[in-house]
Structure 1
Amino acid sequence: VETGTGWEEWSQGKALVRPPDQMELTEAELKEDITRILTANNPHAPQNIVRYSVKERSYKPINVVDQMAVHCVLEGSLVHQDSEEARKLRFDLHYKYLFVGFPQVNPIVDGGDVEEAADEDRPDSAVSRINKKEPKVTNQFNFSNRASQTLNNPMRVGRRGKASILCNDFKYFEDASDEFREQEGTLLPLWKFQYDKAKTLSVTALCWNNKYQDLFAVGLGSYNFSRQGCGMLLFYSLKNPAFPEYIYPTSSGVMCLDIHAQHSHLVAVGFYDGCVAVYSLKEEGQEPVYKSTAKTGKHTDPVWQVRWQSDDMDNNHNFYSVSSDGRVVSWTLVKVTSGTSFDSHKQIDYMFLVGTEEGKIHKCSKTYSSQFLETYDAHSMAVDTVKWNYFHPKVFVSCSSDWTVKIWDHTINTPMFVFDLQAAVGDVAWSPYSSTVFAAVTTDGTVHVFDLSVNKYEAICQQLVVDKKKTKLTHVEFNPIHPVIIVGDDRGYVTSFKLSPNLRKKPKAKKGHELPKGPEVEVAKMEKLLSLLREPDQNSS
Structure 2
Amino acid sequence: MKQGQGMLLLYSLKNPCFPEYVFSSESGIMCLDFHNDYPYLMAVGFYDGSVAIYNLKKATSQPTYNSSTSSGKHMEPVWQVKWQSNDLCNNLNFFSVSSDGRIVSWTLIKNKLVHTDIIKLSVEGTAVQWPERLQLQMFGCGTSFDFHKKIDYLFLVGTEEGKIYKCSKYYSRQFLDVFEAHHMAVDSVRWNPYHLKVFISCSSDWTVKIWDHTIKTPMFVYDLSCAVGDVAWSPYSSTVFAAVTADGKAHVFDLSINKYEALCTQQVVTKKKNKLTHIQFNPVYPVIIVGDEQGHVISLKLSPNLRKMPKEKKGQKVKKGPEVEIAKLEKLLNLVREPEGKAEE
Same fold (TM over 0.5): yes
How do 1:104-503 and structure 2 match up within 5 A?
227-330=2-105, 331-336=116-121, 337-503=140-306
Cα shift at 1:509: 3.6
Q: Which amino acid aligns with 1:495?
A: I
Distance 1:333 1:296 in 2: 15
1:536–1:512 distance in 2 versus 1, CA, 3 Å: farther
Cα shift at 1:511: 4.2
Cα shift at 1:500: 0.6
Q: Which amino acid aligns with 1:376?
A: F
Does residue 291 of structure 2 align to residue 506 of structure 1? no
Stretches of structure 2 that go unaligned for 5 or more consecutive residues are: 106-115, 122-139
Cα shift at 1:312: 1.1
Q: Verify the 8 A CA contact 1:426 1:475 in the aligned structure 2.
A: yes
Distance 2:328 2:171 in 1: 33
Q: Name the counterpart of 2:136.
A: none
| Secondary structure class of the residue paired with 1:396 | strand
Q: Name the counterpart of 1:107.
A: none
Distance 1:533 1:539 in 2: 13
Distance 1:521 1:366 in 2: 31
TM-score, normalization: structure 2? 0.89
1:405–1:538 distance in 2 versus 1, CA, 3 Å: farther
Distance 1:261 1:371 in 2: 30
Cα shift at 1:468: 2.0
Distance 2:197 2:255 in 1: 16
| Secondary structure class of the residue paired with 2:11 | strand
Q: Which has the higher strand share?
A: 2
Distance 2:177 2:260 in 1: 27
Stretches of structure 1 that go unaligned for 5 or more consecutive residues are: 1-224
Distance 2:342 2:329 in 1: 13
* Residue-by-residue CA offset, 1:87-114 (whole Å, 9 max, x unaligned): xxxxxxxxxxxxxxxxxxxxxxxxxxxx
Higher relative contact order (CA 8 A, sep 6+): 1
Distance 1:307 1:539 in 2: 40
Q: Name the counterpart of 1:12.
A: none
| Secondary structure class of the residue paired with 1:532 | helix
Cα shift at 1:333: 2.6
Identity of aligned residues (%): 68
Q: Verify the 8 A CA contact 2:102 2:117 in the aligned structure 1.
A: no
How do 1:51-62 and structure 2 match up within 5 A?
none
Q: Which amino acid aligns with 1:304?
A: W
Structure label with greater radius of gyration: 1
Distance 1:460 1:279 in 2: 39
Q: Verify the 8 A CA contact 1:531 1:539 in the aligned structure 2.
A: no
Q: Verify the 8 A CA contact 1:473 1:489 in the aligned structure 2.
A: yes
Distance 1:362 1:256 in 2: 21
Q: Which has the higher helix share?
A: 1
Cα shift at 1:538: 8.7
Aligned residues: 316
* Residue-by-residue CA offset, 1:202-240 (whole Å, 9 max, x unaligned): xxxxxxxxxxxxxxxxxxxxxxx8x51111111000111
| Secondary structure class of the residue paired with 1:237 | coil
Distance 1:370 1:332 in 2: 11
Cα shift at 1:513: 2.6
| Secondary structure class of the residue paired with 1:527 | helix
Cα shift at 1:261: 0.8
1:278–1:417 distance in 2 versus 1, CA, 3 Å: same
TM-score, normalization: structure 1? 0.57
Query: What's the RMSD between the two structures over aligned residues?
Result: 1.6
